Structure 1
């Protein structure tokens, strides 16, 4: 879905202290950005930020970075954190957001700098000639391995069966061990799920959510 350009979005996000304008400048130095040595987790394609906001609110001992391409969605992610701060009456200082093309993600993080990646409802790119654009494709997994810690995990959710089944193979081919998988997350025995905006919408429509966790070997 193409977003209409919101010219006011960029000036607003640049005023926020949780937006990192030049993320490549922080490569190898993200713990200084957060001013602590806590583990760093990424959500790739964070959208409007509900997922990161909920995680950051619940787990103050983990640093979260939401990544998306568009200012027009990151501005709402930042607003969600600010709203959560008002409601919680405390600073949520373990969340940051960046805008960038995820193809360049290895230029932003250094070796062993990230402990977990979340990929939620990414574009399935169903045409064979477009498969390499999938965020779970071998080409992307190769890039993630450049900055993931040993035995780091990737958690992946989708409503697209073709993407899910192909991703199971991508992970195995790229040196990850699939440690959990289900074709029906909400009726599974998995108890650590945090819902995204899309997930809430899809589940209300009766659609199954597929989910896997994969560990770097």
Structure 2
């Protein structure tokens, strides 16, 4: 039991260290304000660690985390239309993911979504094809075709969280703004040792 407690404390300290490192990466230098870094860390703690992860600082932290090529971009799917085309919400997520993938060309891109519309390809397959058509290298793309829900997305892909500079595990999610809080909470429930950040799309 003591060893389990120690292991949990060590994980929390690792995540705190990662937050501090991201703050140093994204917080503006302010020599005249001695409490600048501490204030930024407090903001990071409230806006990221506790779930309010869509602040400007949280978005900057996501980009900072992606400077490490081990951190994945995980794109969450949405049910295809009956004619097998994508709803606007999914194409918008993919547009956001495409920009992110081109800004961070060394990171793996994970697409997750199963066969949720009879007679159609899996959401993950559609997402892969759309990204490849937008010049994202297919060798970077990891496809999950098993997930039928947000919980399924997390169960299938949370394991891809990568280590930021050997400090702690992290992953960056791409989903709709109104879905982002639930997605991040779900991923955190599945992989508690990782810090989950988000780059939201625009269409809900």
Same fold (TM over 0.5): no
Flag the structure with higher strand content: 1
Relative contact order (C-alpha < 8 Å, sep 6+): which is higher? 2
Flag the structure with higher helix content: 2
TM-score of the two chains, using structure 1 as the length reference: 0.32
TM-score of the two chains, using structure 2 as the length reference: 0.34
